[in-house]
Amino acid sequence: MAKAAKIAPLIVMHVVMQAGTRHLSGMTDFPSKPDIRQVLGLDRSSAAGRRTGPLMWIAGGLAAAVTLMLWAPWAGTSDRIYVTAPVTRGSLVVSVTATGTLEALNQVEVGSELSGVIAAVTVDFNDRVKAGDVLARLETERLESRVLFSRASLEAAEARVLDAEATVRQTARDLERAQSLAGRGFQSGEALDAATAAAERALAALALAKAQVTEATAQLASDETDLEKAVITSPIDGVVMKREVEPGQTVAASLQTPLLFLLAEDLTRLELHVAVDEADVSKVKEGQSARFTVDAYPDRAFPATISQVRYAPETTEGVVTYETLLALDNSELLLRPGMTATADIAVAEVADALLVPNEALRFTPPDADQGTEGRSGPPMLAPPMRRAAQTENPADDPGARRTVWVLENGTPKAVEVTAGASDGRYTEIVDGELAPDDPVIVDMRGDRGR
């Protein structure tokens, strides 16, 4: 039917052009051109027939062409099939979608404060360790020698203290004798002054010896600490995530502490760090629930809870986002740090809402502007092209007046409604003459040969 409507105007135009051509040829005196009246059996002697016959053919052909052109757009309307979906009532959850990565709650980088050669590595990837467990050891010959030297220096300092104490006692007795003799006139004043100075120097030497003991003690403690640090231990209970060292490798800690191990404190509790767009961050609050998926388990959604929404912005290629943390339970150890996740954060929930598919809000009949829905005859003028959709995404304009089309007795009927919240698939209708199970039109097939 539609093909016939398209071809008919072409046939009519062809007939009209042929008739016009022959009419013009009849007005000339070319004998080689046969007069159309001979073919049609008309009387050539009639002057009126020579002029009126072709003109009537042309006028009739033009009228037929115009009629068929006006009728052609309507030739396929009887083939239209409207696809409908029922209006439903239920709960609507409005969510914000964000992507991010999983991270451990507490990750500790373990390094070495000392330079040296790694003598042994006692752990490997994924090993579980407790606080104090040995992770690696450095060669300790040089460190042990320094400890022995420091201990000997401390012993020498302690011996100097004993010597200084003996000197103090001796000079104290010499001073007492000098004072006694000087009091009886048997000792000169110069001898008394010398004895006094000797006693004072002995006390100073004793204080210096004691200070050297303290210094030697500190040096010994430092060397013993270095010796202890040659054994690298775990500071927390956790799992070995990385091991960046092998036995025999030289560690240089002159400028910065080299990373040897990365430990994750507790993999049964992870955090999901997602980037929330600046347009949605006002809707996201601490305590809201969320569900997320990872590529490793595409058919499973994991629950999470918003634990923090950070104020610091992050700008990437002109897009401003805010880092949001979601706490989750990983007691099954299915999830691993570094996995990419897509989270749907529930920011609002509407119970017992009247719902229509979003396609119904985007649908508009092709001739809605002419008010021709349901007519059986041709229009007075050719209908316009199909209108553009009302809005690409109904969720972008909640609270606006919208038009949905209900199929009533096989004819579309426009219904004005007020749209509310949307979850991307369905939109809440807060006002309008719609009821559950009303068939709203979401698509149309068969129009103009489709």
Position 372 pLDDT exceeds 90: no
Between CA 406 and CA 420 the distance in angstroms is 19
Position 48 pLDDT exceeds 70: no
Position 338 pLDDT exceeds 60: yes
- Binning pLDDT at 50, 70 and 90, where does residue 80 land? confident
Mean pLDDT for all residues in the chain: 81
Task: Return all residues near 29 (Cβ < 8 A) that are at least 6 apart.
Answer: none
Position 46 pLDDT exceeds 90: no
Q: What pLDDT, on the 0 to 100 scale, is given for residue 395?
A: 52
Model-level pTM?
0.61
The mean pLDDT of 31-56, rounded to a whole number, is 47
Three-state secondary-structure class, residue 401: strand
> Positive or negative, the Cα torsion across 205, 207, 213, 217?
negative
Q: What pLDDT, on the 0 to 100 scale, is given for residue 282?
A: 94
Position 33 pLDDT exceeds 50: no
Q: What pLDDT, on the 0 to 100 scale, is given for residue 183?
A: 84
Q: What pLDDT, on the 0 to 100 scale, is given for residue 51?
A: 47
- Binning pLDDT at 50, 70 and 90, where does residue 133 land? very high
Between CA 28 and CA 265 the distance in angstroms is 105
Between CA 3 and CA 76 the distance in angstroms is 9
Position 30 pLDDT exceeds 80: no
The mean pLDDT of 25-40, rounded to a whole number, is 45
Between CA 274 and CA 291 the distance in angstroms is 12
- Label the pairing between strands 238-243 and 250-251: unpaired
Position 356 pLDDT exceeds 90: yes
Between CA 373 and CA 392 the distance in angstroms is 24
DSSP code, position 283: G
Position 348 pLDDT exceeds 50: yes
pLDDT digits (tens, 9 = 90+) for 293-333: 999 999 999 999 999 999 999 999 999 999 999 999 999 99
- Range scoring the smallest mean pLDDT among 155-159, 186-190, 216-220: 186-190
Q: What value, to the nearest 5°, has the Cα angle with vertex 64 and ends 59 and 66?
A: 95
Q: What pLDDT, on the 0 to 100 scale, is given for residue 378?
A: 43
- Binning pLDDT at 50, 70 and 90, where does residue 365 land? confident
Q: What pLDDT, on the 0 to 100 scale, is given for residue 28?
A: 42
pLDDT digits (tens, 9 = 90+) for 264-299: 998 999 999 999 999 999 999 999 999 999 999 999
- Binning pLDDT at 50, 70 and 90, where does residue 38 land? very low
The mean pLDDT of 196-210, rounded to a whole number, is 95
Q: What pLDDT, on the 0 to 100 scale, is given for residue 339?
A: 97
pLDDT digits (tens, 9 = 90+) for 375-408: 434 443 334 333 334 445 555 566 678 999 999 8
The mean pLDDT of 233-248, rounded to a whole number, is 94
- Range scoring the smallest mean pLDDT among 29-38, 134-143, 324-333, 426-435: 29-38
- Binning pLDDT at 50, 70 and 90, where does residue 188 land? confident
| Burial of residue 202, with CB atoms counted within 10 A of its CB: 0-12 exposed, 13-18 middle, 19 or more buried | buried
What percentage of the chain has pLDDT greater than the value 70? Answer: 74
8 A C-beta contact, residue 419 and residue 350:
no
